[in-house]
Structure 1
């Protein structure tokens, strides 16, 4: 099921001479900066660089604009953005640990990237996550305190659409109120009995599930209200915020849509530079080129960035030769170290008719809500995302898994396990009324890869997420499921939850063996993927980019997206890298982390050239 209505509400008109549909319309072919990819990373950099009127910037985006597209604007309709379609890269992934299933992996192929299709959750992770980035990269600027400036440059805390009293649901001192991208609490309440049941669970089981007034304080442990990138009932993505009407008409900002970069081309050997970008609209179309006078910035995302680097001759030299690509820069870890949060759906039959399932199942009711949303400027349940609360916990320090596995969390404030409470099911085919609480492992130790299927830049990559291929990951996700079962064992849920839905087929109280079987058949990476062009200390012979995000061995080429986020730590020496590295995923939303990376990167780029 996929809605296809065109949004009738009069939105801001983004049409401008700054946005181009055709290469022939570009005013020139040389720019100070060429940015590849208009997602969470690229749109931030494009915005911040063009604050300097002396900088001329071209942003290349493979897809079209989301403007006027209902599903990409209504927050609740993110449930319709999980299937293949024309505005998606239509990737599939696999893993031996997931029974070698071929799993659909949505990624936004449109201006705004995954910020236009995700579940809108705004979660930074912990103080410990960022302080570890600073430690292992040797750059204190990646630490929590140092990034506060960029948190506030990014975030504009916005009152919820229904203007309810926010006391006790967030802590203002931890937030920015004058940034670019909106963050808010739910703007339409769940039925009182649902939120009351969560409050009662916290009261009854508070030793394990304490209330945390703000998951974005840097100490996210406990049960917190959901915070989302929503502005007055509308999705707040990197397109509508960083390329919003107050920015898009800058005369030095140029955006070329429906244009996929195929290679960055070496323009100098001493020093090594890649300042020319080749691109085309499609596989059979004429390849065109533009040139950067100062830098090329790759912001194509954790899956397309390594593919683009390899197609450009930057990667493992032996592997590139085997694929028929001339090696230019030997960088063996391009496309390795892929790390992704792993999640599993848990859906239960609910003894109520007051769930959001009626929106999904009743087209007439849904159309009435669309009319309300249009006429009121975002009011009603469609202006919400579907989770109500986050449950974030650590594994106990005396867990048996730590007898022979190092704790992969960054520190005592970093979470291992996540559950999200949902007053309904996001399935488009189920009939009935449900309560969902999907479980996620936020600190996986499995490491996957992105490889090429051919030397055709338009061929999809081969993505092995490697999920559930380590002992820790099997244990950790199993414990996340058991955590949700304990949460739902509270008195408040008795008589409300009527057992597992047919899609789940896993009872509360299932054995470890039953849970593991269910996980291998049903778990999937949740879209938070990082690490395929990872940061490492300046001068290190491992990793792909330095802490300033410049590609190692190359001048004037940077990567600014989620692919840089995993920092590699070697405990002995580089020769045993593959068995000694640790995964450093943020224990929050990778979109949120990418915004902060891009904000800081923008200042580093400015400092180089101003």
Structure 2
């Protein structure tokens, strides 16, 4: 998410950060001791970190990770949860920009993706949702592979993460269900610093019930209702794929090399087979001026570039829509029309409300002295506001059964345990969109989102130059369902705030243009003027049944029509989860690791 909160706070974080490179982490292709590995992982983000860690557990297997970004180690802004809002627009961000968006009144917006070891898990706002049971069963149905059903992937979810105590050590009985959590390396907790509004969210939920019912723990598989947010935070610090799966002892493995600041330019065909061309080579370089070098994998290449980087690399390698490739003078090697298409993301909209209470964190981001005081508290004690991302509570809601949004279409949610919309409650003015934070006043922000989105976009190459940014067109809010679902979410926010629990002291009042948006048409126009992305892109190399003509990878994540390539990231989602997507990526990567091990008898 792009945020105007950074400013002087980012300067302070930069002063306190420092580079740290461990022995197993290489800074140049010239440092490679060999150009052949058993496995090459292209992208050291969420999925790539998991696969590299799991494969290199076998000391007889050599693994290379090629990461375009830098090292996560020693970077304060990556460690402090609250400072996630300062990271868009920095060196840790790919700094993508969309094409003009028809559904957003022709606006463009900044698209944040992690450009550092750990990928977006190193810079996101940390929410931990494993998706509903219905979502996983839907994936199993779409791919005709029961291995993606919840009963089969639950073991991988339990392997990804563990529930830890929040940094304030409070009793969390009734705020989370420990029995539905596992014992993996990612640390997950509820808020370590409750703001004034968090207990009011719970009270309003229990007062209203119905669609706003209180849900103790979404990660039990039911993603409908209101709950405390769970985040990838342990001991008051961010827990990312880099810190959890590539800690110091893993980086020290003699069979694992991690090459930073290096781009995969294109996959190299090394042979032919009856199943299609074989790709076991990849060209890499650190800049457009470098002479590329080719490295090879004895077994296979795992592409983990994310929903943008993966299709870009496949297209540059001649794998994609044949006509699009020819237009850029790229020789088509595998005609795969779905590559780069079917991009799905959640549309996000900030809704601002004036409140009658003091004590919101508005002054923290307005006043550098107050900000630095809170940061120093975190540095000294790992306590206080900065142990959390900006929001601590949320609602996932289904539309009313009689909603006109369903007219003429099947319900886009995966089932009754999956929501249509999301509301995130923030104890301050979260300047994520085009509206600047006012100089005075106290605010609550509700970030409303369309969770079961139906707007579909695409990624295309701008040129055949691997260093050119691709053309990203998510086409947000371009379906009637998505517009009507967003309007309903905005109306639900105001209904929620009408509960007695809010009216005693807080008394939220719509701010700015939201105050005059008194009809569905005006609410929709407010959304078009202010919405952007929740930064959950997916689906650009989607899974499909092994023999299906659609899709890019099969249910074992192997690229169709080719040999030697597997994809492990959010691009393979056959449909987008109705929740935040980092935990599903971890689950996919854990299962992928086992699939790879089984294929090679490891």
TM-score tier by shorter-chain length is: over 0.9
Q: Partner residue of 1:538? A: 546
**Aligned-residue offset at 1:522:** 1.0
- When residues 155 and 382 of structure 1 are mapped into structure 2, their CA distance, relative to the original with a 3 A threshold, is same
CA distance in 2, matches of 1:226, 1:14: 32
Q: Partner residue of 2:479? A: 470
Does the 8 Å contact 1:5/1:70 carry over to 2? Answer: no
Residue 93 of structure 2 aligns to a residue in which SS?
coil
**Alignment pair present for 1:604 and 2:590:** no
**Alignment pair present for 1:4 and 2:14:** no
Does the 8 Å contact 1:298/1:560 carry over to 2? Answer: yes
Q: How does 1:372-387 map to 2 (within 5 A)?
A: 372-376=377-381, 378-387=382-391
For residue 428 of structure 2, the aligned residue among 424, 430, 442 is 424
**Aligned-residue offset at 1:4:** 3.0
For residue 485 of structure 1, the aligned residue among 482, 491, 494 is 494
> Root-mean-square deviation (CA), in Å?
1.7
**Alignment pair present for 1:70 and 2:63:** no
CA distance in 1, matches of 2:115, 2:16: 24
Does the 8 Å contact 1:14/1:245 carry over to 2? Answer: no
State which drifts further: 90-99 or 513-522: 90-99
- When residues 44 and 394 of structure 1 are mapped into structure 2, their CA distance, relative to the original with a 3 A threshold, is same
Residue 414 of structure 2 aligns to a residue in which SS?
coil
For residue 573 of structure 2, the aligned residue among 561, 565, 573 is 565
**Alignment pair present for 1:355 and 2:355:** no
Residue 375 of structure 1 aligns to a residue in which SS?
helix
Does the 8 Å contact 1:345/1:523 carry over to 2? Answer: yes
Residue 198 of structure 1 aligns to a residue in which SS?
helix
* Cα displacement string for residues 270-317 of structure 1 (whole angstroms, at most 9, x for unaligned residues): 252111111111222221221101000000000111011000000011
Q: Partner residue of 1:520? A: 528
CA distance in 2, matches of 1:233, 1:203: 29
**Alignment pair present for 1:306 and 2:311:** yes
Q: How does 1:241-256 map to 2 (within 5 A)?
A: 241-256=244-259
CA distance in 2, matches of 1:510, 1:489: 15
**Alignment pair present for 1:293 and 2:298:** yes
Residue 459 of structure 2 aligns to a residue in which SS?
strand
Q: Partner residue of 2:243? A: 240
**Aligned-residue offset at 1:257:** 0.1
Q: Partner residue of 2:4? A: none
Residue 33 of structure 2 aligns to a residue in which SS?
coil
CA distance in 1, matches of 2:17, 2:102: 48
For residue 172 of structure 2, the aligned residue among 139, 153, 166 is 166
**Aligned-residue offset at 1:429:** 4.1
**Alignment pair present for 1:500 and 2:506:** no
Residue 408 of structure 1 aligns to a residue in which SS?
coil
Does the 8 Å contact 1:31/1:293 carry over to 2? Answer: yes
Q: Partner residue of 2:3? A: none
Residue 155 of structure 2 aligns to a residue in which SS?
helix
- Aligned residues between the structures: 585
Q: Partner residue of 2:327? A: 322
Q: How does 1:77-92 map to 2 (within 5 A)?
A: 77-82=83-88, 84-92=89-97
**Aligned-residue offset at 1:404:** 1.3
**Aligned-residue offset at 1:14:** 6.3
CA distance in 2, matches of 1:565, 1:37: 17
Does the 8 Å contact 1:4/1:70 carry over to 2? Answer: no
**Aligned-residue offset at 1:16:** 2.6
Residue 31 of structure 1 aligns to a residue in which SS?
strand
CA distance in 1, matches of 2:311, 2:235: 37
**Aligned-residue offset at 1:379:** 1.5
**Alignment pair present for 1:370 and 2:375:** yes
Q: How does 1:83-102 map to 2 (within 5 A)?
A: 84-93=89-98, 94-102=100-108
CA distance in 1, matches of 2:481, 2:13: 46
**Alignment pair present for 1:588 and 2:582:** no
- When residues 196 and 559 of structure 1 are mapped into structure 2, their CA distance, relative to the original with a 3 A threshold, is closer
* Cα displacement string for residues 54-79 of structure 1 (whole angstroms, at most 9, x for unaligned residues): 11000000010122222111000111
* Cα displacement string for residues 31-56 of structure 1 (whole angstroms, at most 9, x for unaligned residues): 00010001111000000000111110
Residue 218 of structure 2 aligns to a residue in which SS?
coil
Residue 436 of structure 1 aligns to a residue in which SS?
strand
For residue 450 of structure 1, the aligned residue among 456, 459, 463 is 459
CA distance in 1, matches of 2:537, 2:225: 24
Does the 8 Å contact 2:24/2:253 carry over to 1? Answer: yes
Residue 244 of structure 2 aligns to a residue in which SS?
coil
**Aligned-residue offset at 1:9:** 8.5
Residue 452 of structure 2 aligns to a residue in which SS?
coil
Residue 401 of structure 2 aligns to a residue in which SS?
coil
For residue 217 of structure 2, the aligned residue among 193, 214, 217 is 214
Residue 173 of structure 1 aligns to a residue in which SS?
helix
CA distance in 1, matches of 2:401, 2:375: 48
Q: Partner residue of 2:519? A: 511
- When residues 336 and 165 of structure 1 are mapped into structure 2, their CA distance, relative to the original with a 3 A threshold, is same
CA distance in 1, matches of 2:208, 2:472: 41
Residue 246 of structure 1 aligns to a residue in which SS?
helix
Residue 247 of structure 1 aligns to a residue in which SS?
helix
* Cα displacement string for residues 174-229 of structure 1 (whole angstroms, at most 9, x for unaligned residues): 111x20111001111213xx233223312321123111000111002111001000
CA distance in 2, matches of 1:481, 1:323: 43
For residue 162 of structure 2, the aligned residue among 138, 151, 156 is 156
Does the 8 Å contact 1:9/1:374 carry over to 2? Answer: no
Residue 456 of structure 2 aligns to a residue in which SS?
coil
CA distance in 1, matches of 2:165, 2:21: 29
Does the 8 Å contact 1:37/1:299 carry over to 2? Answer: yes
Does the 8 Å contact 2:350/2:430 carry over to 1? Answer: no
Q: Partner residue of 1:44? A: 50
Does the 8 Å contact 2:68/2:262 carry over to 1? Answer: yes
CA distance in 1, matches of 2:17, 2:475: 45
CA distance in 2, matches of 1:256, 1:596: 24
CA distance in 1, matches of 2:418, 2:307: 23
**Alignment pair present for 1:280 and 2:288:** no
* Cα displacement string for residues 476-515 of structure 1 (whole angstroms, at most 9, x for unaligned residues): 111111111111111222352452334xx21287210110
Q: Partner residue of 1:259? A: 262
Q: Partner residue of 2:36? A: 30
Residue 262 of structure 1 aligns to a residue in which SS?
strand
CA distance in 2, matches of 1:525, 1:342: 5
